[in-house]
Amino acid sequence: MSQTYYPAQAWTELEAKDIVRVIEPGRVAYRATIDTKTPDSSVVWVITATGYRRAFDAREGVRIVLVSIESRAATVEASQICARLRSMVTEPGSSA
């Protein structure tokens, strides 16, 4: 069985709540939000747009790239709108 080795990624500039693009080898890139990271930045936890929390080690070949400031503002606004809409939805059988 052969194993692929990747150079370690430098994630020191990433901070909690940053909007990022996650690029996993062989998969479609997606946006996520930085949840937290280890003090040495070798492991980063992200939360995907669907609310799934994932951890990545800097040596697994995953690239995590900070999204531009303009895109970050638009994404935050869209997230706030979605949260407001979700809070307006009631469960079946409950009264509004």
Structural domains in the chain, sorted by start: 19-88 (2.30.30)
pLDDT for 79 equals: 76
CA dihedral (12, 15, 16, 22) positive or negative: negative
| Token output for 54 | 């994932």
Average pLDDT over residues 81-92: 74
Contacts of 25 (CB under 8 A, 6+ apart): 4, 6, 61, 62
**How sure is the predictor about 8, in pLDDT bands with cuts at 50, 70 and 90?**
confident
User: Residue 6: is its pLDDT beyond 80?
Assistant: no
pLDDT for the residue 90: 59
Percent of the chain scoring above 70 in pLDDT: 79
Strand order in the sheet with 53-57: 53-57, 43-48, 30-37, 19-23, 63-66
pLDDT in tens, 29-66: 999 999 999 999 999 999 999 999 999 999 899 999 99
